Amino acid sequence: MSLHPSGVLSRTTHRVPALLRSCHLEPTVAVTVFVTVLAVVAGRGAAGSVAVALAVLAGQLSIGWCNDAADAQRDMTCGRGDKPVCTGELPRWAAAAAAGTALGLCVPLSLLSGVAAGAAHLGGVAAGWTYNLRLKHTVLSPLPYATGFGSLPAFVTLGPPSPAWPPWWAVTAGALLGVGAHLSNVLPDIEDDLATGVRGLPQRLGRPACRWLAPVVLLTAVGVLVAGPPGTVGVTGWALAAAAVFVAVAGTAVRSEAAGRWPFRAAIVVAGIAVAQLLLHGSAMV
Residue 35's closest CA among 162, 124, 116?
124
Q: How many CA atoms lie within 13 Å of 32's alpha carbon, on the beta-carbon side?
A: 21
Question: What type of residue sits at position 44?
Answer: R
Domains and CATH numbers, the chain: 7-166 (1.10.357), 167-286 (1.20.120)
Q: What is the pTM of this model?
A: 0.88
Looking at residue 5, its pLDDT comes to 41
Indicate the SS3 state at residue 260.
coil
CB 136 within 8 A of CB 201: no
**Interval 202-211: pLDDT, tens:** 999 998 888 8
Terminal-residue alpha carbon distance, the chain:
56
The closest of 213, 191, 55 to 124, measured between CA atoms, is 55
What is the C-alpha R_g of the chain? 19
Show pLDDT as tens, one digit a residue, over the chain (286 residues): 444 444 434 455 668 899 999 999 999 999 999 999 999 988 899 999 999 999 999 999 999 999 999 988 887 887 777 788 888 889 999 999 999 999 999 999 999 999 999 999 999 999 999 999 999 999 999 999 999 999 999 999 999 988 999 999 999 999 999 999 899 888 888 888 888 889 999 999 998 888 888 888 989 999 998 888 887 778 888 898 899 888 888 876 665 455 567 777 888 888 888 888 877 766 666 6
The whole-number pLDDT of residue 212 equals 85
Q: At what angle do helices 25-41 and 262-280 cross, to 10 degrees?
A: 0
Sequential DSSP letters for 22-51: HTTHHHHHHHHHHHHHHHHHTT-HHHHHHH
Q: What gap in Å lies between CA 121 and CA 105, rounded to an integer?
A: 13
Helix/strand/coil (H/E/C) assignment for every residue in 117-134: HHHHHHHHHHHHHHHHHC
Task: Answer yes or no: are the C-beta atoms of 27 and 268 closer than 8 Å.
Answer: yes
pLDDT of residue 46: 95
CA nearest neighbour of 268 among 191, 207, 214, 199: 214
CA distance 59 to 103: 6
For residues 15 and 9, give the distance between their C-alpha atoms in angstroms, rounded to a whole number: 10
**DSSP class of residue 229?**
S
Q: 105-119: per-residue pLDDT in tens?
A: 999 999 999 999 999
- At residue 17, the 3 state secondary structure works out as helix
